Structure 1
Amino acid sequence: MNGLPGVVKTDEKIGRYLEANRDIRQGEVIITEEALMVGPSGDPHPFKICLGCCRVVIGEPNYCGTCKWPMCSEACEKIAQHAKFECRVFKNAGVKPSNDPQDYQNINILRCLMLKEANMKKYETLMKLESGPVDKKKKVVAPKEVAEFILKKCNQKSYDNELLGKMAGIVAINSFATTDRLSLQIAPRMAALLFYNASMMSHDCVPNTSWTRVENSDNTFSIKVWATVPIKSGQLITTQYLDVTRPQIERRAHLQETYNFACSCKRCSDPTELGTFYGAVKCTKCPKGKGYMISEDPMKASDATWKCNACGNSAPYRECTVPIETNVIEEMRVAADEVELERILDKHADVTLHPNHWLMMDVRTEIVKRLINSVPTIKEVDRRVDRAQKMLDYCKALNKIAEAFYPGNNRIKARSSLYVQYAEALTKGDGDEVDKELDKIEEVIRKGEEMNVFES
């Protein structure tokens, strides 16, 4: 890893990791490298994704003239990562278009397999990546859906099951996914990228780096990783393997299942999650009504006893948190608009759940998604200002959490801060100066989206 301010080491619990071999300044670029492979993201939402640029296809798509899969444009069907890989396979085997997330994951695996013919050097580097916590004595077996797609649907019978299993593992645990959760206008890019050096970084639920995808002029992609905070020599250089706004128990379960390690980072080990009370629920028996139930031992996950931080009342996790969280999730599922979502917030924030509870943050995020486009269109000034003030309150609450979980100059925190500025400008009502300020902030947000700065 010549030129990098770190060295790769191995640990029994977390596997390979990158350790700083000198002090790294805040903002210093640590890694820049070209992607070994790029493909559509296997996101859980059933979108049609362009196999050329990997953006979500909005409206009526164009279709590739060769394989008939949905594309953004004729230009996209000529992009090498599609035209020289699965396109001819799909045509020859008659593979029909799909918006099944698993099929997009399968396409990534197929592209990686075909890389051996297209670029042997990249293929050999790719094969050095970890493919999962596999017992060396056990034979690797490909997931059924992967084998079904590649061997049968695509008629690529030259690949054996063990190779399919290894490649499926490489894609699953090393992919850097790019999406945009709060876009103003641009169709989000749902891409999965594979890198060698960047894949050496270990996970932390409060990472000390941030990264962005760089789109090169030849339609290839690179990654730029920088230090969001100062990193001392000997410290781990970390990233996030999953969305760290998810609850602690969910994060640790996913990391254990996918990467075979139980996260014991500073945040996961703290019952209050760095003072945010991100998973805390209101104590129903607290005489003062001010206590919150938090885990006595976060490392025990759902088996832990939860205890009130004020009165000492205790109860199993499944009794004090699961019922209320299940109820709120269902209320969110059936909420038709931001008004109903706001009712959920009023009903539960600091009543049944801590105001910073992850579900309350999810509700605020959903409200902001709606308000960011609707508020500027409200013609009645007083009502627009009132709704903008609400949006500002929600954005500030979200930004407070972003500051805790994404410290320093993290791109996600930067985006969150911009939305606070946008909401603040909307609260000022009418006038040329307000319009200019809004235009300026919108331009910054739009530029950030175009440059992939805010993708996550």
Structure 2
Amino acid sequence: MVEKREGVGRILVATRDIDPLELILWDNAAAMGPRMGGKPVCLQCLKPPKPGKLCGTCGWPVCDEKCETGYSHKIECDILAKSIEKPDFSKLDDVLEVYRCIAPLRLLLVKNKFPEIWERLSYLMDHNEDRVKDPELWNLYQDNVNKYLKVCGQEFCDEDVDRAVGLLWTNSFACASGGGQAIFPTFSFASHSCKPNCAHSVFPNKTLALQAKEKIKAGEEFTISYISTLQGLLKRRSKLRDKWFFECTCARCQDATECGSHASTLLCQVCKSPDALVTSTNPIDPKAEWNCSKCQQKTNPEEINAIENRVAEQMQKLAPSSMAEFESFHEDVALELHPSHYLMLLLKRHLIALYSSCLSSLELEDLERVESYCKCVDDAYNIIDPGYQKDRGSVLRTMCETIVSIYKVKKMIAKKRLADGVDNEEQFKKRVQDCCEVFQEAQKCLFVRVKKDPNDFSKFAVVQRRDVE
């Protein structure tokens, strides 16, 4: 249910105990449109458009005739056709700022046609009083939304347009593989946590499903993460501050070790010891110094950001399919970053993906290294993003396959050498059993409610993701 709490506002709260993987709610989008500030997409399906294919009526990009006459685009097509300013869609790889007007326009049309939906959105914040303090960003929207809608012959008042833009800025969620955004009246009450207990999925039919990742007790708040959980303290809190105008005070943000995950911990370059850990002296203060746990050497947060930015930029320059480059880089940055630092986790996760396609051809030493990567990433996920979620499931499946390969190799070696000390049958059976448990855990991570299935409880049923069948 929606509950109002002092100092927090309206939130979603469990009225009974919720089991892991249980569907909490589904919600229909009040409006869905292209991501504001993104590259051109088809106005119907929100996928990258085909070069040169434009709607015959309004002249905006679409995929084909089917998308040209689709309902989502049809509602604004005649309005866009009236514009006296015709955007240039010749460069589909460049960000086109005028796309910022589409989602607000669709939301404003909802206000006129379905006032009851607009009324449900009245309880949500738009942060316009904060957004206006950034003149450059505010004027960008004034030019590409307020003024452009006027040249399309629309007479929406600026207050309503600003409200629509603010609602989308504050409450919309990515969809269509990142090419779109949508706002959901009920789901938008879900609060942020850097250790969320729920996950959500947005589907092409403008429906969203909110699902529990772990056990949630009656009275507990349903939380999601507005941003990727695989980010460090400074960048994570900066994004939340800049986009949503609040200082996160979740358990993870208040702990210098991030609940023991060490997702932002660096290694002291003075001590050069694996147990000389550099963490923030006050995690909720962005200006607080960081210090070494052994020598107390001080480092300012600007230097921490500079180190992370440098590592991230170097990582982006690596050849995506080169195991050798990633392994070498991983070895280098391991001298600066804690093994569970979020950048190290990203490196390990990428290496896991590269190795997963060739496990059967790896030597025992390589298999054991991949297994160690999997365990490190899974241990971190269990802290910062606990419960069942897709990324963790992918890592666990690779770990499961790796474990099987490791012990197959060990058994072959044992037989070839006629030595029973490497692994006896009972040990092998136990490890295979452990592997089965890991595989079952992975499968649970890869389940989500997507299938329409009328029943006594809801119109959805739990089915496996299509991409892992």
One fold, TM greater than 0.5? yes
In structure 2, the residue matched to 1:205 is: 194
In structure 2, the residue matched to 1:405 is: 384
Mapped to 2, the partners of 1:347 and 1:78 lie a distance apart of: 54
Kindly provide the amino acid, as one letter, of the partner of residue 54 in structure 1.
L
Contact kept? 1:209, 1:238, Cα under 8 Å? yes
Contact kept? 1:68, 1:96, Cα under 8 Å? no
Q: Name the CA shift for 1:421/1:81 in 2 (closer, same or farther; >3 Å).
A: farther
In structure 2, the residue matched to 1:84 is: 75
Mapped to 2, the partners of 1:7 and 1:447 lie a distance apart of: 26
In structure 1, the residue matched to 2:211 is: 226
Higher relative contact order (CA 8 A, sep 6+): 1
Kindly provide the amino acid, as one letter, of the partner of residue 340 in structure 1.
E
For the pair 1:191 / 2:180, whether they are aligned, the reply is: yes
Q: Name the CA shift for 1:204/1:319 in 2 (closer, same or farther; >3 Å).
A: closer
Mapped to 1, the partners of 2:155 and 2:64 lie a distance apart of: 32
In structure 2, the residue matched to 1:29 is: 23
Deviation digits for residues 306-360 of structure 1, max 9, x if unmatched?
2223x142303337624432331332243234343332211012x1111111222
Decide which of 145, 156, 161 is 1:159's aligned counterpart.
156
For the pair 1:175 / 2:158, whether they are aligned, the reply is: no
Mapped to 1, the partners of 2:28 and 2:201 lie a distance apart of: 12
Count of equivalent residues: 412
Task: Give the secondary-structure state (helix, strand or coil) at the position aligned to 2:270.
Answer: coil
Contact kept? 2:20, 2:213, Cα under 8 Å? yes
Deviation digits for residues 186-239 of structure 1, max 9, x if unmatched?
xx4533121111111111111111122244xxxx32111122222223322211
Kindly provide the amino acid, as one letter, of the partner of residue 88 in structure 1.
D
Kindly provide the amino acid, as one letter, of the partner of residue 118 in structure 2.
Y
In structure 1, the residue matched to 2:223 is: 238
Task: Give the secondary-structure state (helix, strand or coil) at the position aligned to 2:10.
Answer: strand
Mapped to 2, the partners of 1:268 and 1:110 lie a distance apart of: 37
Shift in Å at residue 277 of structure 1?
A: 0.7
Matches within 5 A, 1:64-75: 64-75=55-66
Give the percent of matched residue pairs that are identical in Structure 1 and Structure 2.
25
Range 325-334 or range 192-201, more displaced? 325-334
Any gaps of 5 or more consecutive residues in structure 2? 410-442, 452-463
Task: Give the secondary-structure state (helix, strand or coil) at the position aligned to 2:129.
Answer: coil
Contact kept? 2:289, 2:301, Cα under 8 Å? no
Shift in Å at residue 71 of structure 1?
A: 3.1
Decide which of 47, 56, 62 is 1:55's aligned counterpart.
47
Shift in Å at residue 448 of structure 1?
A: 7.7
Matches within 5 A, 1:230-269: 230-269=215-254
Kindly provide the amino acid, as one letter, of the partner of residue 76 in structure 1.
C
Contact kept? 1:29, 1:225, Cα under 8 Å? yes
In structure 1, the residue matched to 2:283 is: 298
Task: Give the secondary-structure state (helix, strand or coil) at the position aligned to 1:193.
Answer: strand
Q: Name the CA shift for 1:387/1:53 in 2 (closer, same or farther; >3 Å).
A: farther
Q: Name the CA shift for 1:444/1:279 in 2 (closer, same or farther; >3 Å).
A: closer
In structure 2, the residue matched to 1:434 is: none
Deviation digits for residues 68-106 of structure 1, max 9, x if unmatched?
433344323332111212x22332223343652654443
In structure 2, the residue matched to 1:277 is: 262
Kindly provide the amino acid, as one letter, of the partner of residue 111 in structure 2.
K
Contact kept? 2:198, 2:210, Cα under 8 Å? yes
Shift in Å at residue 133 of structure 1?
A: 6.5
Mapped to 2, the partners of 1:368 and 1:102 lie a distance apart of: 37
Mapped to 2, the partners of 1:256 and 1:248 lie a distance apart of: 12
Q: Name the CA shift for 1:263/1:277 in 2 (closer, same or farther; >3 Å).
A: same
Task: Give the secondary-structure state (helix, strand or coil) at the position aligned to 1:340.
Answer: helix
Kindly provide the amino acid, as one letter, of the partner of residue 80 in structure 2.
F
Q: Name the CA shift for 1:146/1:323 in 2 (closer, same or farther; >3 Å).
A: closer
Contact kept? 2:53, 2:61, Cα under 8 Å? yes
In structure 1, the residue matched to 2:428 is: none
Shift in Å at residue 419 of structure 1?
A: 4.9
Greater radius of gyration (CA): 2
In structure 2, the residue matched to 1:182 is: none
Kindly provide the amino acid, as one letter, of the partner of residue 110 in structure 1.
L
Mapped to 2, the partners of 1:131 and 1:448 lie a distance apart of: 30
Kindly provide the amino acid, as one letter, of the partner of residue 336 in structure 1.
A
For the pair 1:316 / 2:299, whether they are aligned, the reply is: yes
Q: Name the CA shift for 1:126/1:422 in 2 (closer, same or farther; >3 Å).
A: farther
Shift in Å at residue 174 of structure 1?
A: 0.8
Task: Give the secondary-structure state (helix, strand or coil) at the position aligned to 2:253.
Answer: helix
Kindly provide the amino acid, as one letter, of the partner of residue 204 in structure 1.
S
Normalising by structure 2, we get a TM-score of 0.75
For the pair 1:334 / 2:329, whether they are aligned, the reply is: no
Mapped to 1, the partners of 2:214 and 2:272 lie a distance apart of: 42
Contact kept? 2:267, 2:273, Cα under 8 Å? no
Kindly provide the amino acid, as one letter, of the partner of residue 121 in structure 2.
L
Contact kept? 1:95, 1:153, Cα under 8 Å? no
Q: Name the CA shift for 1:317/1:33 in 2 (closer, same or farther; >3 Å).
A: same
Task: Give the secondary-structure state (helix, strand or coil) at the position aligned to 1:326.
Answer: helix
Mapped to 1, the partners of 2:24 and 2:447 lie a distance apart of: 24
Mapped to 2, the partners of 1:142 and 1:206 lie a distance apart of: 30
Mapped to 2, the partners of 1:119 and 1:384 lie a distance apart of: 63
